[in-house]
Amino acid sequence: MKKEQVMAEPFRIKVVEPIRLISREERERRIKEAGYNVFGLKSDDIYIDLLTDSGTAAMSDNQWAGIMLGDESYAGCRGFRHLEEAVHDVLGFNYVVPVHQGRAAERLLFQVMVKKGDVIPFNMPFDTTDACIRSLGGKPVNCVADVAYEPQAIHPFKGNIDLVKLRALITEVGAQKIPFIMLTITNNAGGGQPVAMSNLKEVKEVASEYEIPVFIDAARCAENAYFIQQREEGYQDRALAEIIKEQFSYSDGCTFSCKKDPMANIGGLIGLNNEELYRKILPLLIAQEGFITYGGLAGRDLEAVARGLREMTDDDLIASRIRQVEYLGELLVDSGIQIIQPVGGHALFVDVASFLPHIPQSHFPADALAVELYLESGVRAVGLGALAFSTPDEGTGETISPKMELLRLAIPRRVYTDRHMDVVAEGLKRVYERRNQIRGLRIVHAPPVLRHFLARLEPV
């Protein structure tokens, strides 16, 4: 909702956790020990941690109170009933599969639905989602609108699926090879960009023509709803809660990492209306996660997730969260740094190709920039470029590099103040001023898949 006066965060701080900045010399030692990979750093050696917005939120007093009220019964605990009620009220689904985090939700759903040779049209899958589908012999195909690959193009909904691409793909491979279509809202891999309500509706219409189900990766569905409220005609006067729920009305179910918008430190779920599908998942849930009313979580965590799902529908909370991300974006743009425009909901993505044009993708410029930012100011961000997303060509085996080389600064929810954002912007600005002296990185060793998490690197 538009507000006339300046608004502060709709909360005050009751508990704090100390952080400290270690010296430049220490940071140099630490990053070397970490194999020039920020995933190898110890959190005590980090001043401001923007590695991820996942599981890093400050929970509310209400969530912590829920933790104390957790019912640890193996079967039929109260927390599960509260979760079912919250999922029904907030997302509109009748069946809930609780799991320990988002990727477990994906694995359970995909094991039931994906066969070898299947194709899954996406806007863009998150990297673990992509890996899970491939491990089952399926192939995710990006059908995101081309504008998603133009960092500077201002478009309100850069996460949209291109319906022409979607129809062409269905015609090419045949509907029987497509077990479902999936939309990630917001589109994390494409810069945290939203999907329009009209697009969700149109994708559902196309899918219905071919009787293909539609699933939503819901991790940041409240932030997506906020962008719909701000940018899509007809939604300005609608409450966030209503918009969140409408999004899911154009789907058959969702996988949900509750470590994001619901601000829980752990937890995930599958939401469904199809009882048959739900029943197919249950034996796998028991075998792989835990009994059907706790799914790998403690009863207390179920309470935190249930309460967080309701909290994320707060208009003022999501507005203030995205305002902070935009604030950091403005500081960077003022320093001449190119970022993906418009800024995403949960993170800012620096266009590293324009920041370090002299470093070829084979020398991992995004990861080199993450190292430099840590050295400069103790801030941890993450490179998302050739190290994370290069794939071998199916025919020639040659390496195909991703279209974009990005540095992601993900902002944890309710954790940092604007002053912390000032420090981040200052640090990146100083790196920008000496960008010509920055060198790339090369691999010392790395696993064949998901290599950016585990690779050890060295300066070129």
Residues serving a catalytic function are 74, 126-127, 217, 219, 260, 452
Fill in the per-residue mask, 187 to 226: x = in contact with ligand F0G (CB under 6 A), - = not in contact.
Answer: -x----------------------------x-x-------
User: What is the nearest approach in angstroms of ligand F0G to the Cβ of residue 57?
Assistant: 12
- Answer for the pair 294, 77: CB distance below 8 angstroms, yes or no: yes
What the block records as the tokens of 345 is 């909901």
User: Among 124-132, 138-146, 373-381, 386-394, which window interacts with ligand F0G (CB under 6 A)?
Assistant: 124-132
Give the number of residues in contact with ligand F0G, rule: CB under 6 A.
15
User: What is the nearest approach in angstroms of ligand F0G to the Cβ of residue 55?
Assistant: 7
Q: Which residues of 177-209 are buried (b: 16+ CB within 10 A; e: fewer)?
A: bbbbbbbbbbbbbbbbbbbbbebbebbbebbee
User: What is the nearest approach in angstroms of ligand F0G to the Cβ of residue 190?
Assistant: 10
User: What is the nearest approach in angstroms of ligand F0G to the Cβ of residue 22?
Assistant: 24
User: Among 121-129, 388-396, 429-437, 444-452, which window interacts with ligand F0G (CB under 6 A)?
Assistant: 121-129
What the block records as the tokens of 9 is 């965060």
Instruction: Closer to ligand F0G by CB, 52 or 229: give it.
Output: 52
129 touches ligand F0G (CB under 6 A)? yes
User: What is the nearest approach in angstroms of ligand F0G to the Cβ of residue 236?
Assistant: 26
Residue 155, Cβ neighbours under 10 Å: how many?
15
Three-state secondary structure string covering 315-379: HHHHHHHHHHHHHHHHHHHHCCCCECCCCCCCEEEEEHHHHCCCCCHHHCHHHHHHHHHHHHHCE
- Answer for the pair 161, 199: CB distance below 8 angstroms, yes or no: yes
Q: Which helix (H) or strand (E) holds 301?
A: helix 299-311
User: Among 98-106, 282-290, 415-423, 430-438, which window interacts with ligand F0G (CB under 6 A)?
Assistant: 98-106
From residue 31, alpha-carbon distances to 63, 93, 341, 350 in Å are 35, 45, 30, 21
Beta-carbon contacts of residue 411 (< 8 Å; ≥ 6 apart): 50, 53, 321, 324, 325, 328, 346, 347, 348, 421
DSSP state letters, 260-297? STT--SS-EEEEES-HHHHHHHHHHHHHHT--TTTTTS
Q: Rounded to whole angstroms, how far apart are CA atoms 165 and 121? A: 9
User: Among 101-109, 202-210, 272-280, 388-396, which window interacts with ligand F0G (CB under 6 A)?
Assistant: 101-109
Q: Which helix (H) or strand (E) holds 203?
A: helix 197-209
Local structure of 385: helix, strand or coil:
coil
103 touches ligand F0G (CB under 6 A)? yes
Fill in the per-residue mask, 287 to 326: x = in contact with ligand F0G (CB under 6 A), - = not in contact.
Answer: ----------------------------------------
User: What is the nearest approach in angstroms of ligand F0G to the Cβ of residue 266?
Assistant: 8
Instruction: Closer to ligand F0G by CB, 204 or 408: give it.
Output: 408
| Binding-site member from 37, 52, 229, 377 for ligand F0G (CB under 6 A) | 52
118 touches ligand F0G (CB under 6 A)? no
What the block records as the tokens of 108 is 């359970």
| Binding-site member from 37, 60, 101, 123 for ligand F0G (CB under 6 A) | 101
| Binding-site member from 70, 102, 262, 402 for ligand F0G (CB under 6 A) | 102
Instruction: Closer to ligand F0G by CB, 221 or 331: give it.
Output: 221
37 touches ligand F0G (CB under 6 A)? no
Instruction: Closer to ligand F0G by CB, 31 or 264: give it.
Output: 264
Beta-carbon contacts of residue 229 (< 8 Å; ≥ 6 apart): 1, 235, 236, 238, 240, 243, 315
Judged on CB neighbours under 10 Å (0-12, 13-18, 19+), 116 is exposed
Residue pointed to by tokens 């491979």: 173
158 touches ligand F0G (CB under 6 A)? no
| Binding-site member from 123, 184, 199, 313 for ligand F0G (CB under 6 A) | 184
Local structure of 167: helix, strand or coil:
helix
User: What is the nearest approach in angstroms of ligand F0G to the Cβ of residue 52?
Assistant: 3
Q: Rounded to whole angstroms, how far apart are CA atoms 92 and 448? A: 40
User: What is the nearest approach in angstroms of ligand F0G to the Cβ of residue 316?
Assistant: 24
Q: Rounded to whole angstroms, how far apart are CA atoms 287 and 296? A: 11
User: Among 9-17, 78-86, 97-105, 452-460, which window interacts with ligand F0G (CB under 6 A)?
Assistant: 97-105
Strand partners, 368: none
Instruction: Closer to ligand F0G by CB, 50 or 170: give it.
Output: 50
**Backbone dihedral region of 247: left (phi > 0), alpha (psi from -120 to 50 degrees) or beta?**
alpha
User: What is the nearest approach in angstroms of ligand F0G to the Cβ of residue 296?
Assistant: 11
Fill in the per-residue mask, 253 to 272: x = in contact with ligand F0G (CB under 6 A), - = not in contact.
Answer: ----x-x--------x----
Residue ranges that bind ligand F0G, judged by CB under 6 A: 52, 54, 101-103, 126, 128-129, 184, 188, 217, 219, 257, 259, 268
